[in-house]
A = this chain, B = another copy of it.
């Protein structure tokens, strides 16, 4: 079971990306921002920035999850991954409401990614020395 935890995290990460993409599409409709424009309404701009930040963050998180699962512990990296995904859903919902509500969610997601990364670095170090 714990060996499959990282894959479960990947499932929720894909759902997170679907969610934020859908949020931007909905905001385009609601505020009348036609592609390729990305500006023109403050709420739309916030939702759009939220999506970009989620994508950037995923590009950092997935390699950290891989490292933590492969070299460290699938269980520890998987739990950190679940926290990361939950924090990122929270971030998406908070940022859509107001820019200054995203702080705690960002910090939690960064900490969770940091744990997965640290677990992986530690395991890699042992593999290199041992």
> A22-36 vs B: 1/0 string, CB under 8 Å?
000000000000111
A58 within 8 A of B: yes
By secondary structure, the A interface counts as helix
Tell me which residues across on chain B come within 8 A of A34, comparing CB atoms: 99
**20 A-B residue pairs with CB within 8 Å:** A4-B128, A7-B120, A7-B127, A8-B124, A11-B124, A17-B56, A17-B59, A21-B56, A21-B60, A34-B99, A35-B46, A35-B49, A35-B99, A36-B45, A36-B48, A36-B49, A36-B99, A38-B49, A55-B59, A62-B63
Which A residues are closer than 8 A to B by beta carbons? 1, 4, 7-8, 10-11, 13-14, 17-18, 21, 34-38, 42, 45-46, 48-51, 55-56, 58-60, 62-64, 66-67, 70-71, 99, 102, 117, 120-121, 124, 127-128
